[in-house]
Amino acid sequence: TTYNIASIPGDGIGVDVTEAAEAVLNKLAETVGTFKFNFTTFDWSSKKYLERGWYMPEDGMQQLSKYDAIYFGAVGSPDVPDHISLWGLILPIRKYNNQYVNVRPTRVLPGTVAPLAQCQKRPQDIDWMIIRENSEGEYAGQGGTTHENSPDTIATEVAIFTRVGIERIMRFAFETAKSRPRKKLTMVTKSNAQRHGMVLWDKVFHEVAKEYEGVVEWDKMLVDAMTVRMVNKPESVDTIVATNLHADILSDLAAALAGSIGIAPSANLDPTRKYPSMFEPIHGSAPDIAGQGIANPVGAFWSAAEMVRWVGQGKLDKVADDFMQAIENVTSNPKTRTKDMGGSANTKETTEAVIKQIDVV
Amino acid sequence: TTYNIASIPGDGIGVDVTEAAEAVLNKLAETVGTFKFNFTTFDWSSKKYLERGWYMPEDGMQQLSKYDAIYFGAVGSPDVPDHISLWGLILPIRKYNNQYVNVRPTRVLPGTVAPLAQCQKRPQDIDWMIIRENSEGEYAGQGGTTHENSPDTIATEVAIFTRVGIERIMRFAFETAKSRPRKKLTMVTKSNAQRHGMVLWDKVFHEVAKEYEGVVEWDKMLVDAMTVRMVNKPESVDTIVATNLHADILSDLAAALAGSIGIAPSANLDPTRKYPSMFEPIHGSAPDIAGQGIANPVGAFWSAAEMVRWVGQGKLDKVADDFMQAIENVTSNPKTRTKDMGGSANTKETTEAVIKQIDVV
Ligand SMILES: CC(C)[C@H](C(=O)O)[C@@H](O)C(=O)O
Ligand SMILES: CC(C)[C@H](C(=O)O)[C@@H](O)C(=O)O
């Protein structure tokens, strides 16, 4: 089998780590021998935007639609306002391709230091799977500005929640929880203060929950209280489902609490598989260290492992697990992990170490 | 001087801790001798709502308008949906009374254990002041539901941002930062993904920032990245300003990181002093332990200290500081703090200990 991957390195260290991820994925395919990757690079970046005024060509989405998956580095540049770069590239790709789920696995990888005293003793207390609604809610893009340049300017952000959108993310979240050892799901809202969309979210949740009675154990939290629980009782958390904005915040907090903000992965999935799904490390473009060969490629590798799992449709789960093991072997050794993880390696050395490990595991 | 206080114990342990706070405030006034408090209790609660169908009478706001301040316990009951109870009592009081600032001081009080390993060594690394926009944004209450009870239901939450609303909160935040030793302000948004209201927030921030050039040092963060900074570099944070929802989340996280979720205070301020301001501990009504005499009254005392500071208009700052010292002397002793803080006292014992300390400090 050949998997055709649209590769979008984007900006800054996105370029460094995408190159590293491709090398490692090619090695993985070669070692396993039953599949291969065919990467096509799309130079859609802030640099190009500044040259030609657009991030993606008009038929960009059609071009992407031919691929089995999209691999994404990072977007963001000091020379372009963030809302322009993000709405020029990453957000429209998520939306157009029906990637209504954003999955963020969170664990304390060997070699990382979790900042909570409790987790320094018991890193296994953090083992979370965050399911983020990725297509609507607070990121619907609606709203506007009235009386601009007047003392009376008002601007709105309109969060849109649809029954269809809520139902499908809830179902995905319950299925995910069901597939995990502890089979627990926490549903997050702010329905005490936000009484329209958030109340619908509650209502649909309860309907879907009925289908999983006795199978998945669930509870509900307000988003503010959820941050408290993640800090005070991390071991009580398993799978989390939350809106686009709430889960955005909770997943960054999660990565920080796991000591892995620089290495956490994310998967933007279209569970219907009609459109390509997209895999990206959550770290940004880090323009200050771009091109110096020192970026940590582990988030890119972890995201690549999730991509392997996804395109394999169940047939490559073992391969993805072994790949993760190879990555963890590398992060546990200070000689093969990068400086941000207290190690001494550069991007190339870490990449070569993972390539070597792939032979071993 | 007599300060007339409208006291709203509300639900659950709100009743227990309000009683404790009144006793302590009366003692404080008696000891200082230059002012006194006159409390009028309003029995506006979920229990009453269930009996008579309303939280506040029609002229409730007019009644409150005669007071120098409002002291609030807690609202929330298992028998009333949260969005009903909150929109029945606390949220309309905040809105009607022009309480456009919500202030949340965050420190590691003696006797509390901060969960970050770093702060167990250096509790002083957390010394934050969170300024929350409290009148508009994501809590504007706008939005609605269309096609209810249909597979096509859609619901919206409309966040409203006005130039006037942003300007006044920014000014308050800069003034607060200016009054603190480190004079630093971090402005939080999500303007990369939310490109209308959040972009206006950015713009107005930059305008106001010009007035404080060379006086207050500022920076900007995205709300997701801000959670990471609070976990990884708490000592780099001083004053924070954020929207209603963002600051709601960040302030709960802050209290958790300071180990003080059960004892953190909040002040809802109308800086114009045209309407009464309101002081409330951030803990909820905790119906499971209500009326048992074991609730921790420290959040109520800390909020009371902020009320003293506010009504004193600068003349009672020393009194408020001494009051805080008395509270901290009590929390540092396991015999006088409550069980949730690893102590052995009940509500009454902690209250009496503070009363005794007021004589000493
Ligand atoms: C870059 C930004 C738009 C993005 C988001 O908020 O979705 C990022 O924070 C993420 O979490 O993937
Ligand atoms: C009770 C609730 C409406 C409230 C809020 O979200 O404002 C609480 O969480 C708070 O922070 O004061």
What's the pLDDT at A195?
86
Whole-number Å distance between alpha carbons of B248 and B102? 9
Residues A136 and A196 in one domain: yes
Residue B106 lies in a domain: no
Q: Render pLDDT for A274-323 as a digit per residue (tens, 0 to 9).
A: 999 999 999 999 999 999 999 999 999 999 999 999 999 999 999 999 99
Q: How many CB atoms lie within 10 A of CB B233?
A: 11
Residues of chain A in contact with residue B192, where contact means CB-CB under 8 angstroms, are 76, 82-83, 86
What's the pLDDT at A360?
84
Q: Which range of residues forms the domain containing residue A46?
A: 1-101+264-361
Residues A254 and A124 in one domain: yes
What's the pLDDT at A238?
98
Question: What is the CA(B296)–ligand 2 centre distance, in A?
Answer: 19
Residues of chain B in contact with residue A255, where contact means CB-CB under 8 angstroms, are 228
Of A202, A231, A259, at which residue does a domain stop? A259
B162-172 CB burial, b ≥16 within 10 A, e <16: bbebbbbbbeb
CA of A245, closest atom in ligand 1: 6
Question: Quick one: average pLDDT of B349-361?
Answer: 94
Residues A253 and A317 in one domain: no
Tell me which residue has tokens 């071993």. Answer: A360
What angle do the packed helices A317-331 and A347-360 form, to 10 degrees?
Answer: 130
Report which of A250, A133, A226, A158 is spatially closest to residue B140, judged by C-alpha positions: A158
Residues B156 and B186 in one domain: yes
Instruction: Name the band, by pLDDT with cuts 50, 70 and 90, for residue B38.
Output: very high
Residues B39 and B128 in one domain: no
What's the pLDDT at B360?
84
Report which of A9, A65, A49, A3 is spatially closest to residue A273, judged by C-alpha positions: A65
What's the pLDDT at B225?
95
Residue B258, both tokens: 């300071």
Residue A47, both tokens: 């640099």
Q: Please, are residues B242 and B265 in contact by the beta-carbon 8 Å criterion? A: no
| B145–A162 C-beta distance less than 8 A | no
Residue A108 lies in a domain: no
Whole-number Å distance between alpha carbons of B222 and B127? 20
Cβ A228 under 6 angstroms from ligand 2: no
What's the pLDDT at B192?
87
Residue B130 lies in a domain: yes
Shortest Cα distance, chain B CAs vs residue A29, angstroms: 35
Of A228, A259, A290, at which residue does a domain stop? A259
Instruction: Name the band, by pLDDT with cuts 50, 70 and 90, for residue B115.
Output: very high
The CATH number linked to A167 is 3.40.718.10
Whole-number Å distance between alpha carbons of B130 and B260? 15
Residues B64 and B172 in one domain: no
Whole-number Å distance between alpha carbons of B334 and A80? 55
Q: List average pLDDT for each run of 10 residues in chain A, which is 361 residues long.
A: 98 97 98 97 97 96 97 96 92 95 96 96 98 95 92 96 97 98 97 89 96 98 97 98 98 95 95 97 94 96 98 97 97 96 96 95 77
Residue A107 lies in a domain: no
Residues A90 and A117 in one domain: no
What is the sign, positive or negative, of the torsion defined by CA atoms of A126, A127, A133, A135? positive
Question: What is the CA(B252)–ligand 2 centre distance, in A?
Answer: 9
Of A198, A233, A259, at which residue does a domain stop? A259
Q: Please, are residues A141 and A87 in contact by the beta-carbon 8 Å criterion? A: yes
Instruction: Name the percent of chain B lying above pLDDT 90.
Output: 96
Residue B361 scores a pLDDT above 90: no
Q: Render pLDDT for B122-161 as a digit per residue (tens, 0 to 9).
A: 999 999 999 999 999 999 989 999 999 899 999 999 999 9
Residues 6+ apart with CB under 8 A from A104: A129, A130, A132, A247, A251, A254, A255, A264, A265, A266, A267, A282
What's the pLDDT at B130?
98
C-alpha R_g of chain B: 20
Whole-number Å distance between alpha carbons of A235 and A346? 34
- Averaged pLDDT score across all residues of chain B: 96
Residues A172 and A208 in one domain: yes
Residue A234 lies in a domain: yes
Residues B269 and B358 in one domain: yes
Provide the number of structural domains found in chain B: 2
Tell me which residue has tokens 């072997």. Answer: A329
Q: What is the 3-state secondary structure (H, E, C) of B5-35?
A: EEEEEECCHHHHHHHHHHHHHHHHHHHHCCC
The ligand minimizing its distance to the Cα of B87 is: 2
Residue B219, both tokens: 């920076």
What angle do the packed helices A298-312 and A317-331 form, to 10 degrees?
Answer: 170
Shortest Cα distance, chain A CAs vs residue B259, angstroms: 9
What's the pLDDT at A149?
84
Residue B45 scores a pLDDT above 90: yes
Residue A269 lies in a domain: yes
Residues B229 and B269 in one domain: no
Residues B127 and B92 in one domain: no
Question: Quick one: average pLDDT of B314-333?
Answer: 97
| B161–A157 C-beta distance less than 8 A | yes
Residue B314 lies in a domain: yes
Question: What is the CA(A248)–ligand 1 centre distance, in A?
Answer: 7
Whole-number Å distance between alpha carbons of B157 and B142? 6
Residues A200 and A294 in one domain: no
Residue B66 lies in a domain: yes
Q: Where are the alpha helices (DSSP H) in B180-314?
A: 197-210, 223-232, 244-257, 298-312
CA of A134, closest atom in ligand 1: 7
Q: Render pLDDT for A180-215 as a digit per residue (tens, 0 to 9).
A: 999 999 999 998 888 899 999 999 999 999 999 999
Closest chain A CA to residue B77: A192
Q: Render pLDDT for B198-238 as a digit per residue (tens, 0 to 9).
A: 999 999 999 999 999 999 999 999 999 999 999 999 999 99
